[in-house]
Amino acid sequence: MRDTDVCKKTKGPNFVTLPNGRKLTRSDLPPSNTKRWVASRKASVVLAVQAGLIDMGEVCEMYDLSQEEFDCWVDAVKIHGISALKVTKLQKYRQP
């Protein structure tokens, strides 16, 4: 058996069921080496944390994010929705 044939055990559930009935798995998350953060990738990570698929500490470590940066994503989604995660909308949704 090769090392690549072994399933990697992760903390937490393998999937969560979202309110709309869709299942979200760890394979739905962006790769850990993601450098270009588009709104949909940010949203999937925020949703995964909110649904309990992965915890914030693991997200920050996996993606090399600060807690403050991740909290900004969460606040933007909470206040303005997913569209607030678009880089082109930063000025519109920036806090005074």
Q: Could you tell me the CATH number of the domain that includes residue 92?
A: 1.10.10.10
Position 9 in a domain:
no
- Model confidence band, residue 7 (pLDDT cutoffs 50, 70, 90): low
Position 91 in a domain:
yes
H/E stretch holding 91: helix 90-93
Q: How many domains does the chain have?
A: 1
Which amino acid is residue 95, in one-letter code? Q
8 vs 15 pLDDT, higher one: 15
Q: Please report how many Cα atoms fall inside a 13 Å half-sphere around the Cα of residue 14, on the Cβ side.
A: 3
Position 54 in a domain:
yes
Residue 17 tokens read as 């069921």
Position 3 in a domain:
no
| Residues 57-89: tens digit of each pLDDT | 999 999 999 999 999 999 999 988 888 888 665
| Whole-number pLDDT of residue 53 | 96
Kindly state the average pLDDT of the residues 24-48.
Answer: 94
Residue 32 in this model has a pLDDT that exceeds 80: yes
Position 2 in a domain:
no
Please give the residue range of the domain that contains residue 81: 38-96
